[in-house]
């Protein structure tokens, strides 16, 4: 069974990720002890975490984690203001990132901890 929004939010709080704001079905989080933003998006009641496209080189490593699945292509949203923009389906640039889905809380913890290691250079 897939993880719920409440389960993933609770897991992020336990991992000491800070929530900055919530707009519609998108919540901005910051990694612990960092200014690195990522987003929780609810897509048809299925939660997914969105990270910067700069981490595309780590998609294989992140997808290899038990219970983690990368959603092909880029995820676009005007509300992801900390992310870069690109032209997509219109003449105006829109913010974009890489989306990941999770089977359970353990997968979320593995993913966030791996992301922290990547960002800290360990």
For residues 115 and 122, give the distance between their C-alpha atoms in angstroms, rounded to a whole number.
10
Question: Would you state the pLDDT for residue 64?
Answer: 96
Please list the rounded mean pLDDT of every run of 10 residues in the chain (122 residues): 86 94 92 94 90 96 96 93 88 94 95 94 74
Predicted TM-score (pTM) above 0.85: yes
Q: What pLDDT shows up at residue 45?
A: 82
Q: How many CB atoms lie within 10 A of CB 120?
A: 11
Q: Are 54 and 98 in contact (CB under 8 A)?
A: no
8 Å CB contact between 36 and 119: yes
Q: Exposed/middle/buried for 112, CB within 10 Å: 0-12, 13-18, 19+?
A: buried
**Alpha-carbon span 64 to 57, nearest angstrom:** 13
Query: Tell me, what's the pLDDT at 122?
Result: 67
The residue to which tokens 């704001």 are assigned: 21
pLDDT at 118: 93
Q: Which ranges constitute the DSSP H helices of the chain? A: 5-14, 59-63, 105-120
């Amino acid at each position: 069974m897939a993880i719920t929004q409440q389960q993933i939010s609770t897991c992020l709080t336990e991992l000491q990720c800070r929530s900055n704001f919530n707009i519609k079905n998108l919540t901005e989080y910051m990694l612990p002890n960092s200014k690195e933003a990522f987003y929780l998006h609810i897509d048809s009641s299925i939660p997914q975490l969105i990270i910067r496209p700069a981490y595309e080189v780590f998609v294989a490593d992140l997808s290899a984690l038990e219970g983690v699945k990368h959603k092909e292509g880029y995820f676009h949203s005007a509300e992801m203001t900390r992310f870069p923009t690109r032209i997509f389906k219109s003449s105006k640039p829109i913010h974009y990132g890489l989306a990941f889905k999770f089977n359970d809380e353990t997968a979320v913890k593995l993913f966030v901890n791996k992301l922290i290691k990547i960002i800290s250079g360990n």
